[in-house]
Amino acid sequence: MILVEGLHKSFGDVHAVAGVDLRVERGEILVLLGQNGAGKSTTLRCLGGILRADSGVIELDGLRVPERLDDVRSRLGVVPDQARLYGRNTALEYLDHFGFLYSVPDAVRRERVGRLLERFDLADRNDTALAAYSRGMAQKIALIRATLHEPDWIFCDEPTAGLDPVAAADMRHYLGEQRARGAALILTTHILSEAELIADRIAIMRGGRILVTGTLDELRRRSSEGRTYSARLAAAPTNGASVETWLREHATSHRLEGSELTYTLPWHTPVRERAQFAARLQARLEEQGAPFHELEEQQPSLESVYLDAMSRQAAEPTAAPRPARFVAGIGAGRMFASIRNQGRLLRHTLPFYVSSWWRRGDLSWVMYLNAFVLLLVAATSLFGQLPGPAGQAAARFAGGAALQAGLLLPLFFMSFALLESIKSSIGIWWEKAQGSLEVLLYTPLDDPSLVWLEVLPGAVVSTVWVTSWMAAGMALLTFFGQPAPWDLLPVFAFVAAVTAYWAAMGRMLGFMLFPREGAAGGAWSFLLSPVSAAVADLPLALFVFRSPLAPASLVLPILACFALTLICGTTFDRERLMETGVGRRRRRVWF
């Protein structure tokens, strides 16, 4: 059961959700109706835990949000207002990825993905990149993703948007199957006919408030005075006045125009009395030579119910409650302890992200540039020193290490910088760039895992990449008879890892400081570049020039990464990753 009481959420001066109360039982579908900006999507985001409510109670089967949010996420499925897919992946890769995040066993995952793709007529397109899918096809993939782990609660924002009538009917049928399975569902839609076909209960929202809620039959009763019937008469009554006099005495209201008659009876009138009324009316019309040959009940449409609710005078707006104090961030102990549990996630996400990165095509030109630098290494090795005055100056100050420093340090910087420039295909930065971060935030990844998802895959890629190119450069030096500092290869790998770690943590800190700007994390990382040079590149240079201070200098990058991790964890706020969280005025407790 989903229980919501007194839910409030504000963004600055905008009171987006103003005291919402909802109740959805297991095996029930509640449809939220309302204009754009009514607060429907914000309500769902608060229920899903990616926005923090200012006040109110949210409970899902007794699990209170946000206190038990980690337990809720594994049992929740969400289809946002847009599909938000990974365009470079195929449907099989994409669904397998999210099945893994929801801890669906491998064999079960393969069976469900295949069955559901077949169910939605997508099996013949399972090896096609999702960027080539139509909007309707993408919406189907989003629904499969949200229900792959058979969640207990399902939130769908416009689930049939962009679907043709046949696909929309299939979608409704599938959601009905989820209801029959015992899931509690909340849907939003602007298509009133869809709501009539699928809703068990309907709630109409305006200005962040619930105007009315109930079953369709209950809403119809509230919007009209009773049951209205329409009769088509064989002719106009010879004495219409007597018929109308009788109707005024026995019906709530009526209208007689020629051979057309409508009348209304109270909602609580039993079926037997309605039948007796029709029989007596027919007898009187027979006397007037105008019996009815057609009689049907005119049900108020959902459109009329909706328009009636929207036309009512809204309650006086209540003042937005003061946002509750909350402790932001991740404690140091939890942050560092969680790294032990990231192995399984890293083994899965690393090939997933890198495969998408490879399809982007940027890796090819980076490899060409790195190969060009290697050619310079080979050419210089033939001469045994750097050309011109640069070589003379380097030999004077660096002695025998001049050639190594002049070749290997530029190779390191070029390899690392080129890779970093295209690494936006990995981690949270990539999720934000694709607009898919909201989907990821609903998955059962805890806060530390989100941070490590940005840091660890990129650090591993950078370490392997830079170490490989440095080994190639040293091999060329050896091949041409020059001494190569193979003992420094672990140092190059360590500095690459530390620098990548530092840059990724800097991006995460940028996301916390500048949540509104999609590229702010990247811009912030460039602001940290001078510090990165001092933290990582200075120890590297000391090792290359064989300085006695080199071993002690490694303490500096280690302490710097430790400090940045503490700061990033302390400031971490899942809501800050969402652009919708900008502008709120909230008192923060940093420690």
Which tens digits make up the pLDDT trace of 254-280?
999 999 999 999 988 999 999 999 999
Residue 584: what pLDDT? 44
> φ and ψ at 186, to 5 degrees?
-125, 125
Start-to-end CA distance of the chain, whole Å, equals 35
Task: Report d(CA 572, CA 175) in Å as an integer.
Answer: 36
Residue 383: what pLDDT? 52
State pLDDT tens for residues 9-19.
Answer: 988 888 899 99
Task: Report d(CA 74, CA 77) in Å as an integer.
Answer: 8
Averaged pLDDT, 200-204:
95
Q: What is the mean pLDDT of the chain?
A: 84
Candidate from 305-314, 350-359, 397-406, 419-428 with smallest mean pLDDT: 397-406
Output 540 or 315, whichever has higher pLDDT: 540
Task: Report d(CA 231, CA 224) in Å as an integer.
Answer: 19
Residue 399: what pLDDT? 46
Report residue 429's pLDDT band, with 50, 70 and 90 as the boundaries: confident
Domain 225-299, what fold? Alpha-Beta Plaits (3.30.70)
- Name 327's bridge partners: 589
Rg (CA), the chain: 33
pTM: 0.83
What class does CATH assign to 2-220? alpha beta
Residue 527: what pLDDT? 58
385 Cβ partners below 8 Å, 6+ apart? Answer: 391, 394, 395, 402, 403
CATH 3.30.70.2470 domain residues, the chain: 225-299
Report residue 517's pLDDT band, with 50, 70 and 90 as the boundaries: low
Residue 532: what pLDDT? 63
With beta carbons less than 8 A apart as the criterion, state whether 359 and 87 touch: no
Output the CA angle 49-55-60, nearest 5 degrees.
45
With beta carbons less than 8 A apart as the criterion, state whether 90 and 126 touch: yes
Of these ranges, 111-115, 318-322, 475-479, 534-538, the one predicted with the greatest mean pLDDT is: 111-115
Does residue 114 surpass a pLDDT of 50?
yes
Residue 488: what pLDDT? 87
Candidate from 94-108, 242-256, 263-277, 523-537 with smallest mean pLDDT: 523-537
Output 2 or 165, whichever has higher pLDDT: 2
Task: Report d(CA 152, CA 301) in Å as an integer.
Answer: 31
Does residue 580 surpass a pLDDT of 50?
no
Averaged pLDDT, 69-84:
91
Write out 368-400 in H/E/C secondary structure.
Answer: HHHHHHHHHHHHHHHHCCCCHHHHHHHHHHHHH
CATH 3.40.50.300 domain residues, the chain: 2-220
Q: What percent of the chain is predicted at pLDDT more than 90?
A: 43
Residue 412: what pLDDT? 80
Closest CA to 13 of 320, 324, 326, 323: 320
388: number of Cβ within 10 Å: 8
